[in-house]
Amino acid sequence: MQHKSVMPREALEALALAPGHKAIDATSGLGGHSRLLAEAVGEAGLVCACDTDAESLELAKSNCSAFAGRMRFVHTRFSELPQKLQDILPADALLADFGTSMMHFTSGERGFSLMNDGPLDMRLDRSSDGPTAADLVNRLTERELADLIFITGERRSRQIARALVRGRPVNTMRRFAELVESVSPRTGKLHPATLSALSLRVATNREYEEIEALIRSLPILVRPGGRVALITFHSGEDGLAKALTRQLAKEGKAVLINKHVWTPSAEETRANPASRSAKMRVLEMKQPLGKQGETDHGYSGMDI
């Protein structure tokens, strides 16, 4: 399964890159968007392709080899960006395409996939000494586990937590999925453990704390007048992006460029069903002087 970069045309339009610009791809993944950014900044520009997953970054490096001279690959998480990139800051633009890539699901080895069994790891950064998903499931109290499962709004979080605690040790994705399914039977097409697995991934990688750190540090990362595009995939991510970008606007640190969130075209969702839930929010970091207003670009969108 190959990862197809989401909303590539819209990302390029949002970031308004020009030759010579410095751009940060905060979530390089397999390098799909990074390659497009590298083309847009030309030979005189620079793209910092960043990812917390060293294995993805190696693939990005090889996928972007044609642009090696204008790229820097940085193993970092969002909260470390101001420190890791300090010699190039502020950049002209930043892209963040949150979540995981298809690469994480192609085998069971990383512990993300409900379709392929494997150790319940789920760490995006396997070099970190942070807890694995199995550590959380096996060590938290039932109450803490119920709160964790509820992160994504899973309505049966309490019953699921009870089943997981009774079924310990839980060291594989298959065991996790079976225990969730024992109290949450299949109804539609979605696997009954989908939301619980997402909650566990979000908690294992402290994804919400990381998104918050990224958005709060945008005034350091991107120059006034520079553009930021944030792509989210589920309501937890998007709610956070919405609240925090509004806060930046209220503080006079950024202007929200799109009146509606941008969503993928019907053509893109047909070709890449995984893009279906994507929403893009675009900001322009605030100029110290001058007047900016909201613009609407004509893509399909929904109220924000």
Ligand X SMILES: C[S@@+](CC[C@H](N)C(=O)[O-])C[C@H]1O[C@@H](n2cnc3c(N)ncnc32)[C@H](O)[C@@H]1O
Question: Could you list the residues that contact ligand X (CB under 6 A)?
Answer: 3, 5, 27, 29-33, 50-53, 56, 77-78, 97, 99-101, 124, 210
By C-beta, is 58 or 178 nearer to ligand X? Answer: 58
What is residue 292's three-state secondary structure?
Answer: coil
State the burial class of residue 146 (Cβ atoms within 10 Å of its Cβ: 0-12, 13-18, 19+): buried
The nearest distance, CB 111 to ligand X, in angstroms, is 14
By C-beta, is 26 or 177 nearer to ligand X? Answer: 26
Buried b (16+ CB within 10 A) or exposed e, 52-73: bbeebbebbbebbeebeebbeb
Under 8 Å CB-to-CB from 234, ≥6 apart: which residues? 99, 152, 198, 277
By C-beta, is 37 or 161 nearer to ligand X? Answer: 37
By C-beta, is 125 or 181 nearer to ligand X? Answer: 125
Q: Are 161 and 213 in contact (CB under 8 A)?
A: no
Residues β-bridged to residue 258:
295
The nearest distance, CB 39 to ligand X, in angstroms, is 13
Helix/strand/coil percent split, the chain, to 5 = 45, 15, 40
Residue from 178, 30, 207 nearest 114 by CA: 178
By C-beta, is 151 or 163 nearer to ligand X? Answer: 151
The nearest distance, CB 245 to ligand X, in angstroms, is 17
The nearest distance, CB 109 to ligand X, in angstroms, is 15
By C-beta, is 157 or 217 nearer to ligand X? Answer: 217
Q: Are 74 and 84 in contact (CB under 8 A)?
A: yes
Task: Report the residue closest to ligand X, judged by CB.
Answer: 29
The nearest distance, CB 8 to ligand X, in angstroms, is 8
The nearest distance, CB 101 to ligand X, in angstroms, is 4
H-helix or E-strand containing 210? helix 207-216
